[in-house]
């Protein structure tokens, strides 16, 4: 089996599901690895228990959480709060799969568009977002508190849910 075939076989084993409180320790590992200003346990706990706009999912491989994504669903707009993958699993296009699942979930819950902020220096993420239909819509000056870096604001339109065959929170959303 070639390396590409092995990656495709592994990709078929990816599972997407809603995040639970007991997932937070694994999420914090990803968070610390991915971000210079990681969210705290309390922040995730609050999102999952008190923020009725919040929707978070995890991506698992062989029963281990390797990535997660979150958004706030407000009126008909989804705002991506965070999306991250363990470093060992980057470069396989699985971040793209995770973003697709988040966008599918947003569509499923009735969102018409989706937005996010990304560091102006993060070309890799910007390229992924453009590939998934996001377009630049301005900047937020000094948005990131760790170094006062600007954020690029990006938006994408979402198709109506009927164009998808997915169910939010399904054990396996392939």
Give the max Cα distance, the chain. Answer: 48
Measure the N-to-C terminal CA separation of the chain; round to a whole number of Å: 22
Which residue among 100, 117, 144, 166 is the active-site one?
117
Looking at residue 18, its pLDDT comes to 96
Looking at residue 170, its pLDDT comes to 46
| Residue 89 annotated among the catalytic residues of the structure | no
Which residue among 31, 101, 129, 168 is the active-site one?
129
- Name the pTM for this structure: 0.85
Looking at residue 172, its pLDDT comes to 44
Report strand pairing: 151-157 vs 77-85.
unpaired
Express each pLDDT in 70-84 by its tens digit.
999 999 999 999 999
Query: Where would I find the beta strands (DSSP E) of the chain?
Result: 15-18, 54-61, 64-74, 77-85, 113-119, 135-140, 151-157
Q: Is 76 left (phi over 0), alpha (psi -120 to 50) or beta?
A: alpha
* Positions in the chain short of pLDDT 70: 1-10, 162-174
| 3-state class (DSSP) for residue 116 | strand
Instruction: Report the 10 Å Cβ neighbour count for 52.
Output: 8
| Residue 68 annotated among the catalytic residues of the structure | no
């Amino acid at each position: 089996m070639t390396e590409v075939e092995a990656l495709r076989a592994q990709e078929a084993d990816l599972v997407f599901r809603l995040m639970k409180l007991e997932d937070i320790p694994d999420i914090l590992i990803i968070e610390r690895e991915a971000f210079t200003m990681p969210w705290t346990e309390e922040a995730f706990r609050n999102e999952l228990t008190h923020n009725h706009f919040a929707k978070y999912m995890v991506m698992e491989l062989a029963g281990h959480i390797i990535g997660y994504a979150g958004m706030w669903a407000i009126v008909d707009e989804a705002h991506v709060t965070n999306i991250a993958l363990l470093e060992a699993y980057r470069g396989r296009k699985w971040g793209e799969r995770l973003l697709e699942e988040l966008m599918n979930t947003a569509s499923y819950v009735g969102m018409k568009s989706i937005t996010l902020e990304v560091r102006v220096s993060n070309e890799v993420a910007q390229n992924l977002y453009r590939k998934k239909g996001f377009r630049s819509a301005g900047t937020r000056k000094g948005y990131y508190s760790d170094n006062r870096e600007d954020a690029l604001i990006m938006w994408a339109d979402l198709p109506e849910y009927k164009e998808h065959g997915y169910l939010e929170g399904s054990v396996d959303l392939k």
